[in-house]
Amino acid sequence: MPVAASLLIAGTTSDAGKTVVVTALCRAFARRGLKVAPFKAQNMSNNSMVVSNPGSPGDPGVPGTPAGSDGTGEIGRAQWIQAVAAGAAPEPAMNPVLLKPGGDRRSHVVVMGQPAGAVSSRDFVDGRAHLAEAAFAAYDDLASRHDLVICEGAGSPTEINLRASDYVNMGLARHGDMPVVVVGDIDRGGVFAALYGTVALLEAADQRLLAGFVLNKFRGDASLLTPGLRELEALSGRPTLGVFPWHPDLWLDSEDALAVPASGGAASAGAVTAALRVAVIRLPRISNFTDVDALGLEPDVELRFVTEPRDLAGADLVVVPGTRATLDDLAWLRARGLDRAISTHVKRGGAVLGICGGCQMLGREIADPDGTEGRPGARIDGLGLLGLTTRFAADKALRLPAGREFGEDVTGYEIHHGRITRGDDDEFIGGARRGRVFGTMWHGTLESDGFRSAFLAEVARGGGAGAAGDGRAGWVREASGVSFGRAREARLDLLADLAEEHLDLDALLGLAQAGAPAMPLLEPGASR
């Protein structure tokens, strides 16, 4: 039986701030000396990470673990960063079920880090009992090995149309008899109604576990909220355990592609004089877009997500990122004329970096013999900017590779069904290079500071489209000294500092340890 204290952080909506609050609590309670584990029973995200499988054959910590072995597994990026915040080794049990959308009605399933078929939208109503069993077993295992398990819900706990098959919100809370705290995003408006309604629509057994609220993304004088918070407590019988502020320096590895701007986007902080201009293609099924996060920290890099050919004008570097559906997104790219815009960019001397699915698109041909991408027997021409060819296979490659490029150490991770053959191009980490066109199957390489600096110096030295257009061709870029790892740690500490200041951590820990106190029941849910 579980022995750890447990707490479930739910939300009034998706993107209400559950991930931020859980991450903050993981770091804050870890700093108090507790052995903390994050947990999300089911995550739906195309932003994932490769992790080592504890207790698997061989040495799972060795980079380059062969594909298909038990040495590695795949979990949501959010749970990975929460584990980092907690000072815990990320493992599949922290996100036992990962759904990777392949379209509007179908998702690929990862169970305990390994591919496990697919589910349709109908399966959200029935047919998920085996996933619930896997999730509950993973939670029980974590709870037996930690002092505190901080769980993250998904969407809203009051999806009453899906309650019968729920195992990530109130279904999980009931399994672990754990108290629930609901986060509401005050920046969206209507937060008091959303919080009260979240309680009132729940059936009585669920209401008994819902023990408090947290408001997120507040701007301004928190004292102005006092009358509303008092009335909310009087009406619901539940206290607000903190008001988490909006802060300009908060940043987390996002799990939701909806968080990526459809076009435009802010330039990175700092000076933009003689900036390198980077345009990232915002593919419809973009995945692992955190690959470019490190570029956004560079003071002389202007980073934008783009969707139109005209948005590539003046760019020094175009990034074609990963995608969950390479063939569909390649068709989208062509339909918008972005294929021609990228080719024009290269002819003008601009640099291109393709990552995973983006790397495959840059090649000569993509084959899907068994229908892994939904087109059995298809052979599709790529953009032809690299000579490599791709062949999809049913088994997924999961690796933690390491190597050297531009004289610098570089690490990354691989998650893909496509197998590439390099052809006549020059070697490049996890892929190929032809002149100023680079392709790699490794995600996360730009987080290696030395490699990132050397790669950006190569882009600047060649005089890309932007540089050639304003007289900066051949610009020698000096290393910025930015450390991505230190920046991430600083922001995790900032989250914990904000939690210490603005959340009632003692009350939250007391809830986790003692369970939900007696709670009043609200209509209409109380009658159910």
As a whole number of angstroms, the distance between CA 428 and CA 406 comes to: 9
The residue among 59, 39, 23 whose CA lies nearest residue 143 is 39
Q: Which entry of 108, 356, 359, 417 is annotated as an active-site residue?
A: 356
As a whole number of angstroms, the distance between CA 79 and CA 95 comes to: 7
What DSSP assignment string belongs to 301-329? EEEEEE-SGGGGTT-SEEEE-EES-HHHH
**Does 359 qualify as catalytic in the annotation?**
no
As a whole number of angstroms, the distance between CA 493 and CA 86 comes to: 11
The side-by-side arrangement of strands in the sheet containing 240-245 is 36-39, 148-152, 5-11, 180-185, 210-218, 240-245
Q: Which entry of 108, 416, 443, 502 is annotated as an active-site residue?
A: 443
> What would you report as the CA-atom Rg of the chain, rounded to the nearest whole angstrom?
24
The residue among 493, 490, 353 whose CA lies nearest residue 412 is 353
As a whole number of angstroms, the distance between CA 427 and CA 419 comes to: 16
Neighbours of 104 (CB within 10 A): 7
CA-to-CA separations, 429 to 90, 195, 470, 487, 526, in angstroms, rounded: 25, 49, 31, 25, 59
**Does 151 qualify as catalytic in the annotation?**
no
Give the N- to C-terminal CA distance of the chain in Å, as an integer: 29
Neighbours of 358 (CB within 10 A): 29
Torsion of CA 229, 235, 238, 239, to 10 degrees: 20
As a whole number of angstroms, the distance between CA 288 and CA 333 comes to: 18
| Residue 158 DSSP code | T
| Residue 503 DSSP code | B
303 close to 292: Cβ distance less than 8 angstroms? yes
55 close to 16: Cβ distance less than 8 angstroms? no
The side-by-side arrangement of strands in the sheet containing 437-440 is 301-306, 276-281, 317-320, 351-355, 437-440, 431-434, 426-428
What DSSP assignment string belongs to 112-135? TTEEEEEEEGGGGTSS-HHHHHHH
As a whole number of angstroms, the distance between CA 49 and CA 526 comes to: 41
User: Which amino acids are annotated catalytic?
Assistant: 356, 443
